[in-house]
Structure 1
Amino acid sequence: MSLLIVPGDDHLDNPRLAPDWNLYRHILYSRGYALLTFRDIKLCQQKVWEGRRLQSLTHPKSSRHHPQQAPLDENALCRDAGLPENMFRGVSLRDGRKVIVKAVHTRSRELDVLRFLSAPSLRLDPMNHTIPVLDVVEIPADHTAFVVQEEWTRQLHTERPSNLRKFLRLIRQCIEVIVSLLFGHATQCSGNLIVFFQGVAFMHSHGVCHLDMSLRNILTDGNGRCAFIDFELSRRLQRGQDVRICGRLGTEIPKELDRGEQADPFKVDVYALGAIISRACQLTGYNVPELTQLIGPIAKVQPEDRPSARSLLRAFDKMVPQLGETRLSMASSVPRP
């Protein structure tokens, strides 16, 4: 029997929260995480603009961390206007690293998927490209959980990879994310970056469909690793479960969903992957005809004709060595801004 996923079918357990962060700041602090205050932002600005006149916190160009007027108490929380209400910037008291705290419902799919992907057995998997979960602080009485993760950045939007090799490395990781979500565990061979997959018996043994893959949901740690974020629409499916989705889910929507038809959620993720690669090439200025040819079949109207994520990864790994060292070392043709 097939399962049909309809947008909003579980809105009671999967809402986007808007917590009063002041009610929970001390609980988070007791767990080792301090939410950013106006004093923190002021000190940060002083370091950036050392020797210059510090602009007012209420000036719209001085920082995204600003309310309508500056508070009298510098210990007041300073929310980043660039983040949704269910997210807050903070710092780990143990090692000083920057973190993002996200409030989710305790019965939400997002919390279920993040916990699953952060399990020790999957965390050690080299193909697991999700940001590590440092902690989950649950408030059962409020049906709220605070997920604490490292703060990563949108490198493709802020810093173009310096050569084609580094760009393709990021693209490969994007493909790896989908393959690892679809097929579960993988192994490494002789320390090589090429990942070999276990047999068909493991297919879909840990089936997760993201359903909102886009460039804005890809972050990097600044050291060459990238990860997908935002699992609010994601689903974790049982082995062998026949699932179809309908309606407009996520950002990159295939034509079959636009036509009101039902679709395989994993094929929807593959379609989104093709759109991500195409947009990344345009954004960074890396024009690779071989890569364009590789992702061409993804946009096919008939979903069943789209390649699987695993076959894409194999084709990608076959393509890269054929480009040659000279091309792989080339910088983007688009000048830096």
Structure 2
Amino acid sequence: MASLEPLPSTHWVNDPKWEELLPCEEFWVSIQPLLLSRGYELRSRYHPGWTPSWLQPGGKPLHLCDDSLQIGYKMIDATRTNDSLKVVIRQVPTHTDELPLLAILSSPELQADPRNCTVPILDVIILPGNDELALIIMPMLRDFGDLPFRRVGEVVEMFEQLVHFLAFLHEQSIAHMDFCWFNIMMDGSRVVPKGWHFLSPFSHDGIPSGDFEWFDRWSVRPVKYYMIDFELSQRMNPQGNPCRFVGSWGQDRSVPEMSFTTPSDPFKVDVYQLGNVIKKLIRNYVGLDILKPLVDAMTNSDPLKRLTAEESSKQFSIFRKKCTARAMKRRIWKNEPPIPPLTSLERFLVRYLQYNPIN
């Protein structure tokens, strides 16, 4: 349960660079009143007229102040005022198909399908006088891989959700085109019931304390996984004709057929990308070889021989029926250099004494 991992601070005490807003942060300050009027409160750093709390009389050291944490340009964390729900606000370019596709995938009919792992969209905010951007509001989710898997069944249950979702997505003639590692999120509310900070995910409140509590997924299952970032996604020809596309395929640049000149099948690329996510887990953990045959078929270098999403989903279902409860409970151990693997003593503590380090 409890992890006593030290949380290294990335801050230098009294470094003046933390006192200044980045250019990308000024955008959020400019729309803070609008967001508040819609029921979303930003951290104090993004309030007009902000004064760093560590500079005020009696202020805490900089590295203990939540308002010292800076965000990137596309997303920001916030709190929904009516229920204190932690949310993420993301900029969405209006020239892409992302908003229309999210509207389709968020329709009551498609939301009723249990295979749908599209990130929930809580709200959409149109910016006055800005035709280039809109804002979507999502629940604050957690990167699926930043806490270790502890049992075979934890990975199998994630794979199950994602492979069926990919088949569901392709049934709607939608190719995600970036079905990759950093776009897969999990609902961490069961795993980290005390919550975490958006910019300091191994602390509960953004303040380094060295006492971060979390539970392995098997003990709190089911854990729900979601897919985010549909910026590259497209709805292809739904008439059953072969689909071809030329262009970039997001994070995973190892796609064998990726080309800026020769058209390729975006649906087969999606399958390869998901297969590669699971292949990386197989490399990084000891004990996941039972997934290798299906993953190899999903990542065949020849797209004509590669499984479709529907075939992958069906083959997974066959595989899943053969999995015994004992096999699902089997322990797996992270082995991802340069992170040192757990020692024999640490593995004993994990098994029997609820020791839960973040590696």
- Coarse TM-score class (shorter-chain normalised): 0.7 to 0.9
Task: Report the Cα offset of residue 225 of structure 1.
Answer: 0.5
CA contact (8 A) 1:129 1:176 kept: no
- 2:244 aligns to what SS in structure 1? strand
Counterparts of 1:86 and 1:96, CA distance in 2: 22
Task: Report the Cα offset of residue 19 of structure 1.
Answer: 7.5
Q: 1:97 to 1:300 in 2, by over 3 A?
A: same
Amino acid at match of 1:156: G
| Unaligned 5+ runs, structure 1 | 1-16, 46-52, 67-77, 184-205
Q: 1:209 to 1:259 in 2, by over 3 A?
A: closer
Counterparts of 2:322 and 2:42, CA distance in 1: 48
Which residue matches 2:299?
299
Comparing 30-39 with 174-183, greater Cα deviation is found at 30-39
Which residue matches 2:270?
269
Which residue matches 2:325?
325
Amino acid at match of 2:227: F
Counterparts of 1:249 and 1:296, CA distance in 2: 20
Amino acid at match of 2:331: A
Q: Deviations for 1:201-242, whole angstroms, at most 9, x for unmatched residues?
A: xxxxx2111111211111100240011111111112241254
Counterparts of 2:186 and 2:177, CA distance in 1: 20
Alignment of 1:273-288 (within 5 A): 273-283=274-284, 285-288=285-288
| Unaligned 5+ runs, structure 2 | 1-23, 48-52, 191-222, 335-341, 343-356
Amino acid at match of 1:34: E
Task: Report the Cα offset of residue 155 of structure 1.
Answer: 3.2
CA RMSD across the alignment: 2.8
Counterparts of 2:159 and 2:331, CA distance in 1: 16
Q: TM-score, normalised by structure 1?
A: 0.72
Q: 1:209 to 1:55 in 2, by over 3 A?
A: farther
Q: Deviations for 1:277-333, whole angstroms, at most 9, x for unmatched residues?
A: 1112333x1533331011212232321111111111111121123232222111213
Counterparts of 1:315 and 1:65, CA distance in 2: 49
Counterparts of 1:156 and 1:96, CA distance in 2: 26
Q: TM-score, normalised by structure 2?
A: 0.68
Task: Report the Cα offset of residue 154 of structure 1.
Answer: 1.2
Comparing 292-301 with 234-243, greater Cα deviation is found at 234-243
Comparing 244-253 with 124-133, greater Cα deviation is found at 244-253
Counterparts of 1:19 and 1:111, CA distance in 2: 24
Task: Report the Cα offset of residue 263 of structure 1.
Answer: 0.4
Counterparts of 1:259 and 1:290, CA distance in 2: 35
Indicate whether 1:133 and 2:118 are aligned: no
